[in-house]
Structure 1
Amino acid sequence: MARAVFYGAISLDGYLADKEDRLEWLYRQEGGELVPYDEFYQMIDYTMMGRRTYEAVKRDAELEDIYPEKENYVFSRSGIEVDENLHVVAKDPVEFIKELPANKTVWVVGGGALLKPVIEAGLIEEWWIQIVPILLGEGVPLFLPQANQQKLQLLETEQFGQFAQLHLKK
């Protein structure tokens, strides 16, 4: 089984995206360019994301290719067209992670619906969460209600401009 990690930014009130599934609020924040994303990106082998996350990143991130040099998977139960460097998966995300090679790392990009069963299965080993000082009021939450509690260990906090990053471990 691959090592599963989470890396992502949320609003102060816990949202990954606004109520229209937009990420523009995030990309306009001062200091985002200071967050050490490249270091994290180099340590992963795979990405996995839900359909809504894929569509939001594709639309708002202004990337030519989404996560080049990585094996990328989009989870969707319906037919969806994706870029050629991505694969559509309709299986259970927990089983998918368990089938990946043990010497690899998979980044669970999001969102909350994809992340929920992975969290409940206790598969996220390490977290990097950047908190942005904005209250969106409503939107796409990072955490959906969980069936069980999980205690995490705070390894480090860092500030990057207006971003506060929590580094946590299971």
Structure 2
Amino acid sequence: MMKPVILFIAVSLDGYIADAEGNIDWLMKAGGEGDNGYDEMYRRVDTVVMGRKTYEHVLVLTDSFPYRDKDCYVFSTSSLDGGGPVTFVQGDVTKWLQNKQQESGTGIWLVGGADIIDPLLNEELIDEYIITFTPDLLGSGIPLFKQRPGQPKRLHLYEVKRWGELAQLHYKRVEDLPDQ
């Protein structure tokens, strides 16, 4: 069985994962409850994947890298030094992820950003979308999903949760559902 790929991410009500300058400070102002479902999702994965900009934001927001207990991979088009808590990867994210799904383990958390999400969405490699909406209307910024040509995608609404003023929608790919 292949490891599922889970997109667990927060987004503004108007669909942005960062403001026009790439900042995510507005996320810290949203009033949630507890960990907003983070621990439950985090226990389901053994691998963490993100883009370089997302990685840099994580380093700014935390005193120590929070995912040291997982296999962490950072995609970057520029050459970066190796070592530390992550492995830097260059190349085709879709081919890399398809290989990683074949390895033993529990799941892959797709942290972000948009440049990583987009090709995986196009190749239908994201199995679950757990998207937490904040009550912010940014007006512009980096969209969660880029405009793209091609076939529309249809997902199945699996669960809806409320965490204070946050709304979390959990969708699964229709192909991943058991026959009914």
User: TM-score band (shorter)?
Assistant: over 0.9
1:9–1:83 CA distance, 2 compared to 1 (3 A): farther
1:82–1:137 CA distance, 2 compared to 1 (3 A): farther
Structure 2 match to 1:3 = 4
Q: How does 1:105-124 map to 2 (within 5 A)?
A: 105-124=107-126
1:48-96 Cα deviation digits (max 9, x unpaired): 111111112222x224113120011110110234771101100211111
Structure 1 match to 2:144 = 142
1:82–1:145 CA distance, 2 compared to 1 (3 A): farther
Contact 1:129 1:167 in 2 (8 A): yes
1:74-125 Cα deviation digits (max 9, x unpaired): 1011023477110110021111111111544111111111111101111111
Question: Aligned residues, how many?
Answer: 169
Structure 2 residue ranges without an equivalent (≥5): 174-180
Structure 2 match to 1:46 = 47
Q: How does 1:8-47 map to 2 (within 5 A)?
A: 8-31=9-32, 33-47=34-48
TM-score (norm 2): 0.87
Structure 1 match to 2:89 = 89
1:168 alignment partner, SS class:
strand
Decide which of 157, 161, 179 is 1:158's aligned counterpart. Answer: 161
Largest Rg, 1 or 2 = 2
1:169 pairs with 2:172: yes
**Residue identity in the other structure for 1:54:** Y
2:127 alignment partner, SS class:
strand
1:153 CA drift (Å): 0.4
1:32 CA drift (Å): 5.4
Contact 1:21 1:56 in 2 (8 A): no
% same residue: 36
- Which has more strand, going by share of residues? 1
Question: Structure 1 residue runs of 4+, over 2 Å off?
Answer: 80-83
- For residues 22 and 91 of structure 1, the distance between their equivalents in structure 2, rounded to whole angstroms, comes to 26
1:20 CA drift (Å): 1.8
- For residues 54 and 17 of structure 2, the distance between their equivalents in structure 1, rounded to whole angstroms, comes to 9
Contact 2:50 2:116 in 1 (8 A): yes
